[in-house]
Amino acid sequence: MSDKAMSEKAPLHYIYDGIEEHDNRLPNWWLFILWTTIVFGAGYWFWYHIAEVSPGQLGEYNAEAAELAKRSQGNKPASDETLLALMQDPKAVDGGKAVFQANCASCHGAQGQGLIGPNLTDGYWLHGGKPVAIHKVVAEGVVSKGMPAWERTLGAERVKAVTAYVLTLKGTNAPGGKEPQGEPEQP
């Protein structure tokens, strides 16, 4: 290409060590991306930092932390009193029944009468019939007997709800129940 054709294409900007640098126009696609990014950045800055229409990342984090703190305040450790009080709450018992039907009925039967797992409606218990003992078995499981630990899967609140539901089954002696296993519950 001749020097004249080169200089008509773009004005010569700089020559150094035999290398010519021309002042070429940027491609339209590149300019489109540049201007779109600038407009988006200005809109984002206005939306989140000036007008504060929506919470930013820090606002969302603070909201989630507050929600977690609120939930953990109500998350009292399981005790006989807490579980017996939860047993009186129809909403908690209904929630526990739904979780029981979805996760526990395959081994313990739909009414807790026992299939593969023990009967939960009689007065005999393999690992103790006190509310805290039942909660411990549901939460931590008994691997040697095939009972999985449910606390990691279900969470602490749902384990308490299932325990409350199982407490309502105790002593109902559902028809078709499995033979008694374990020791009779001590008053």
Q: Tokens 């035999």 belong to which residue?
A: 18
Exposed / middle / buried, residue 184 (Cβ in 10 Å: 0-12, 13-18, 19+): exposed
| pTM for this predicted structure | 0.60
pLDDT band at 90 (very low <50, low <70, confident <90, very high): very high
pLDDT band at 5 (very low <50, low <70, confident <90, very high): low
The whole-number pLDDT of residue 88 equals 92
Separation CA 21–CA 126 (nearest Å) = 87
Residue range 117-140, pLDDT digits in tens: 899 988 888 888 899 999 999 999
Domain residue spans in the chain?
Answer: 1-73, 80-184
Task: Output the six-digit token pair for 149.
Answer: 């630990």
Residue range 25-73, pLDDT digits in tens: 899 999 999 999 999 999 999 998 899 888 888 889 999 988 887 766 5
Domain 80-184: assigned CATH number: 1.10.760.10
